[in-house]
Amino acid sequence: MRKLDESLLTHLPPFSELGREQIREILDRATPQRYDTGDTVFHEGEEAGRFFLLLDGYVRVVRMTAEGEHVTVLHIAAGQLFGIAAALGNERYPASAVAASDTIALGWPMRLWHDFTATYPGFAASGYKTVGNRMEEIHKRVVEMATQQVEQRVANALLRLITQMGRRTDAGIEVDFPITRQDLSEMTGTTLHTVSRLLSAWEKRGIVESKRKHIMVREPHQLVMLAEPAVSS
């Protein structure tokens, strides 16, 4: 891969306070890597040897339950740091990272995390803000799992996806990476059968359109109503 230009990072929060010379120093210490859809960037429990910046594509963060089931914790979009175990005080990755689409990332040795946070203005604040935002999102997911019905959870999951990673088209808002019904079931703590039943019912009502590995939300407002708690009479 050819030498990367500093302009790739100047607009991103961890680097927005840095000059081109400082960004050049950071880029020169990075290793660019391509991942095909489905490739694992790192495994849960593996020694955290590197941290990453996602340049293009999407990454799915997955954890394994005690029963051996995969749970999708969150998705990460381009322009964000991930694998920052050192920011959490961890020596091992707390979850796996899997390419949800064809992906390009920059990787640095984990030992440089502390160098970067100490040396470059704004890098530490942005990194720890990223951790805080993700912890908040995970907390919301836990609350949803504990308090919401399955239909609400699936509707909320789709709303998050189109809000954070949606691509607007003439027909609606499409999730901008390949996603299956199995992926949705892993995100919402339910079965593939239940997700399939819900999506089929929503398709008949014209709310969504679900094809192989692609989901389009045609009526976002209707989905918002499905995500809201039922009002008891």
Q: What are the tens digits of pLDDT across the range 176-198? A: 988 999 999 988 988 999 999 99
Residue with more model confidence, 16 or 174? 174
Smallest CA-to-CA distance from 52 within 98, 120, 118, 6 is with 98
Contacts of 163 (CB under 8 A, 6+ apart): none
Scan for tokens 């040396």, then name that residue. Answer: 119
Scan for tokens 């050192």, then name that residue. Answer: 86
Question: Is-contact 186 72, C-beta < 8 A?
Answer: yes
Q: pLDDT class for 1, splitting at 50, 70, 90?
A: very low
CATH of 6-137, one of 3.30.360.10, 3.30.1490.20, 3.30.70.600, 2.60.120.10: 2.60.120.10
What is the rounded distance in angstroms from the CA atom of residue 6 to the CA atom of residue 10?
7
Look at strands 96-99 and 40-42 and give their pairing: antiparallel
Report the mean per-residue pLDDT for the chain. 90
Contacts of 233 (CB under 8 A, 6+ apart): none
pLDDT for the residue numbered 230: 61
Which residue spans of the chain are classified as CATH 2.60.120.10? 6-137, 148-227
Residue with more model confidence, 146 or 206? 206
Q: pLDDT class for 232, splitting at 50, 70, 90?
A: very low
Span 51-68, average pLDDT: 90
pLDDT for the residue numbered 205: 95
Span 218-227, average pLDDT: 94
pLDDT for the residue numbered 128: 85
What is the rounded distance in angstroms from the CA atom of residue 54 to the CA atom of residue 195?
29
pLDDT of 125 > 80? The answer is yes
What is the rounded distance in angstroms from the CA atom of residue 193 to the CA atom of residue 190?
8
Q: What are phi and psi of 201, to 5 degrees?
A: -65, -40
- Estimate to the nearest angstrom the gap between the alpha carbon of 29 and the chain centroid: 25
Smallest CA-to-CA distance from 226 within 111, 149, 133, 146 is with 149
What is the rounded distance in angstroms from the CA atom of residue 9 to the CA atom of residue 16?
8
pLDDT in tens, 106-122: 999 999 999 999 998 88
What is the rounded distance in angstroms from the CA atom of residue 140 to the CA atom of residue 34?
31
DSSP structure string for 132-200: HHHHHHHHHHHHHHHHS-HHHHHHHHHHHHHHHHEEEETTEEEESS---HHHHHHHHTS-HHHHHHHHH
Span 31-53, average pLDDT: 96
Q: Does domain 148-227 have CATH number 2.60.120.10?
A: yes
Scan for tokens 């089929």, then name that residue. Answer: 200
CB atoms within 10 A of CB 127: 20
What is the rounded distance in angstroms from the CA atom of residue 101 to the CA atom of residue 99?
5
For the four alpha carbons of 112, 115, 120 and 125, in that order, the dihedral sign comes to: positive
Residue with more model confidence, 150 or 139? 150
pLDDT of 25 > 50? The answer is yes
Distances in Å between the alpha carbon of 179 and those of 9, 79, 127, 211?
28, 20, 28, 10
